[in-house]
Each structure stands twice: as C-alpha cells, then as structure tokens.
C-alpha cells in the first residue's frame, strides 16, 4: 500500500488531505536525496527497509585492500566512540614536538575551552599521534581520543620544517588515514593543530558541498576554483564519490614529485570538479576562517578560527598563537559597547611574518 492509502485507511484522511500531506512531504524527501547526493544509494536504503532488512550502511566500497585496512588497527572502534551522532569526527595530528606541554596541542585544546560554546566539540576530536612520544603526551591531556599512526619512513618526531622529508611523509600518511575514515562511513573535519578554534565552524559548512576547504586568500566567490585552498582545515562528507576523490588525490602524488598534499589538490581540483566525479567544492571565507596569510586585525563576531599559516617554525607559531589567545580572552572580558567600538584587535603575528621574510 502507498503512503496515501495507508494514511487514509488508518486515520480517515480524505484523498484531498492525503494529497496535501504528500505535497508537504515531497520537498523534505527531495532535500534528503539532494543533500546526500547519492540518490541511487538512498533508494537502495528505502528498498532494504521495505523488505524488512537494512543493509550495512556504515561503510563505502573503495580501493582499500585488506592489507591496507590492517594498517589502521583499532581505528573503526575508536571512531565509533569519538564521532557525533551523524558520524562526523574532527581530526588533528601531532608529533612529539607539537604535543609537548605548552606547545601546539595545548593551545589547540585551550581554543575549544575558551571559545564560544564549543567546549563540547572536544569530545569529538580524534588526535592522530604519529610517534609514541606524541601518543603519550596526547593520552595525558586528551585520554581515550588518541590514535597512534606510526610513520616509520622518516624521523618525524622533531619539529619538521615545511617541505622537509619528514613533513612530506607526515602529510601523505595523514591523508591515507583520512581516506580510511571516509571508507568506514564517517565524515571528517580535518584541522591542523596550529589552528585556534573560537566558534562552531559547522554553521558555515554548506549542506551541498562534498568538500569545504579553507583558503590562504579568499577571492570573494565561495565556489570559484581559483581560490587558494589550504587543506589544513577542511570538511569532507563520506560518499562513494569522496572516497574515490581521496584515492585520486593520493594517486596524483606520483605525478607531482616532491609536492605536498595541498599543492597536489590545488593542481587536480578542477579535474575533480569538472570530470566524471562532478564534485562540489566550497571555499571558506578568511573573514570566518582567518589566518596569517590574509590577516585581518579586527576581532569580529563571526570569526570561527585563526590559523598560523604563512609561518615557518614551531616556536614562531607558538609565540604568535599565544598572543592571539590572550587577545581573545581580553576581548571576551570587554563590555558590548567596547567590543563594537573596534577595540578588539589581534596582535600582529610578528614572528611568523619575520619567518616568511616579510
């Protein structure tokens, strides 16, 4: 029996009333289909429930072999504990140097605790430790939310400088793990640990985006592919297409020898958007997701995060982010009129600018 017949029989709803209800329901159903961007899969879901059984909907097929899956022991179990109800997890990664007391991991966690209504999001942060020292530091401050991903092909325990061998091994190993997260059916928001969170970013992530990514410099058009993406902060929705997207992203490493993941993504993003996958990218405004590259000194009521990008050297990042954490606290203590008067401003990231020769 169809929906209208069921309503009419059980509740005495007239044909006109049932038509009205169907008309009201259709936009909601269509929104569900469009938001998921997997109409075929959603129809299969409906079919499985109508037949009295639900298929395994928690994971997606992909090119991961059994051997590759074994590279991530315990990951699936940990994700089930850390993820939100809608299967979203926030991921960051640290080595021993970044996770030491007083270093970037502490600043990162303090951002959630001192931000506006985002302390609860810490419960959904998975910290990927890339060496045993980082794992120990993580378990001391964020117990039950730490995952060891050892990268043995290079020494990455020290503060690897940008584009060093250790740095490159780290970023590509991170992407491999994120690929596995998607295949297990979890959405993720990856955030570099040198980002200070201030407000809830999920309010600004488009429902229809396959991937929402921050920018070093925003050109004013959120869908323009000529924005400069920064994959230090990006959200990906788990679908078969995004699993394939990350596979192609990883495979493209061999076409761009010596490049990091962000540079490779920038090279292939147009093919991903206009090719057979037809992926939808949204680029995040630096007014909302700020950083040191396109620096704005005013602390307004919209900014969700500050990223120590365009900066070389761990000590420089820590110094300038500490200043900004103090700026945020000082601003929070001001009365509303003072905030509106423009007195809330970020300290110029002087050490980071010097590190870039500015």
Instruction: Please compute the mean of the pLDDT values over residues 62-90 and round it to a whole number.
Output: 86
- Sketch the domain layout of the chain as residue ranges: 14-50, 66-191+220-225+237-277
**In angstroms, rounded to a whole number, what is the distance separating the alpha carbons of residues 271 and 171?**
22
Q: How many CB atoms lie within 10 A of CB 216?
A: 18
pLDDT at 356 over 90: yes
What pLDDT is attached to residue 65? 64
Q: Which DSSP letter does residue 62 get?
A: -
Alpha-carbon separation of residue 94 from 101, 172, 224, 242 (angstroms): 12, 14, 31, 25
Across the chain, mean pLDDT equals 83
CA-to-CA distance for 306 and 309, rounded, in angstroms?
Answer: 9
Residue 334: band (very low, low, confident or very high) from pLDDT cuts 50, 70, 90: confident
- At 49, is the pLDDT very low, low, confident or very high (cuts 50, 70, 90)? very low
Distance (Å, rounded) from C-alpha 212 to C-alpha 282?
A: 5
Cα atoms in the 13 Å half-sphere on the side-chain side of 271? 11
- Report the percentage of the chain scoring pLDDT > 90: 67
**pLDDT greater than 80 at residue 277:** yes
DSSP state of 298: B
Helix spans in the chain (H): 3-11, 15-36, 39-50, 66-69, 75-82, 96-99, 104-114, 132-141, 165-183, 240-251, 261-274, 314-332, 336-340, 350-355
DSSP string, 245-268: HHHHHHHGGGGSTT--HHHHHHHH
Minimal CA–CA distance to 292: which of 201, 355, 241, 199?
A: 355
pLDDT in tens, 179-198: 999 999 999 999 999 999 99
Q: Looking at residues 323-340, what average pLDDT do you find?
A: 85
What is the structure's pLDDT at 321? Answer: 98
Please report which residue ranges of 115-239 form alpha helices under DSSP H.
132-141, 165-183
Please check whether residue 180 is in contact with residue 73, taking contact to mean a CB–CB distance below 8 angstroms.
Answer: no
The 10s digit of each residue's pLDDT in 281-318 is 999 999 999 999 999 999 988 999 999 999 999 999 99
The model's confidence at residue 225, banded by pLDDT at 50, 70 and 90, is very high
| Bridge partner residues of 147 (DSSP) | 128
- On whether the CB atoms of residues 216 and 233 are closer than 8 A, the answer is no
Digit-coded pLDDT (tens) for 251-260: 999 999 889 8
According to the model, what pLDDT value does residue 170 have?
A: 82
Per-residue confidence at 343, pLDDT binned at 50, 70, 90? confident
pTM (2 d.p.): 0.81
Element spanning 147, H or E = strand 146-148
- What is the model's pLDDT at position 264? 96
């Amino acid at each position: 029996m169809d929906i209208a017949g069921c309503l009419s029989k059980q509740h005495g709803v007239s044909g006109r009333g049932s038509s009205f209800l169907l008309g009201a329901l259709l936009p909601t159903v269509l929104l569900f289909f469009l938001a998921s961007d997997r109409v075929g899969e959603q129809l299969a879901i409906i079919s499985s429930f109508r037949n009295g059984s639900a298929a395994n909907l928690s994971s997606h097929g992909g090119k991961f072999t059994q051997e590759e899956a074994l590279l991530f022991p315990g990951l699936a179990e940990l994700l089930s504990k850390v993820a939100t109800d809608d299967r979203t997890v926030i991921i960051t990664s640290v080595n021993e140097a970044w996770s030491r007391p007083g270093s970037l991991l502490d600043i990162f966690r303090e951002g959630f605790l001192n931000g506006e209504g985002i302390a609860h999001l810490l419960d959904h942060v998975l910290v990927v430790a890339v060496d045993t020292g980082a794992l120990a530091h993580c378990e001391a401050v964020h117990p039950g939310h730490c995952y060891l991903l050892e990268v043995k092909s290079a020494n990455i325990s020290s503060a690897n400088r940008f584009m060093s061998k250790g740095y490159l091994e780290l970023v590509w190993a991170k992407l491999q793990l994120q690929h596995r997260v998607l295949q297990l059916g979890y959405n993720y928001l990856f955030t570099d640990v040198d980002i200070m969170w201030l407000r809830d970013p999920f309010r600004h992530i488009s429902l229809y985006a396959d991937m929402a990514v921050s920018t070093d410099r925003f050109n004013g058009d959120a869908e323009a592919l000529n924005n400069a993406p920064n994959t230090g902060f990006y959200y990906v929705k788990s679908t078969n297409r995004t699993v394939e997207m990350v596979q192609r992203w990883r495979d493209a490493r061999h076409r761009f020898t010596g490049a990091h993941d962000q540079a490779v993504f920038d090279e292939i993003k147009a093919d991903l958007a206009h090719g057979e996958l037809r992926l939808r990218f949204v680029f995040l405004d630096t007014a909302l997701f700020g950083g040191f590259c396109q620096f704005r000194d005013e602390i307004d009521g919209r900014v969700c995060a500050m990223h120590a990008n365009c900066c070389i050297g761990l000590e420089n990042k820590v110094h300038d982010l500490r200043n900004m954490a103090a700026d945020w606290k000082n601003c929070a203590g001001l009365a509303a009129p003072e905030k509106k008067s423009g007195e809330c401003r970020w300290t110029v990231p002087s050490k980071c600018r010097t590190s870039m020769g500015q």
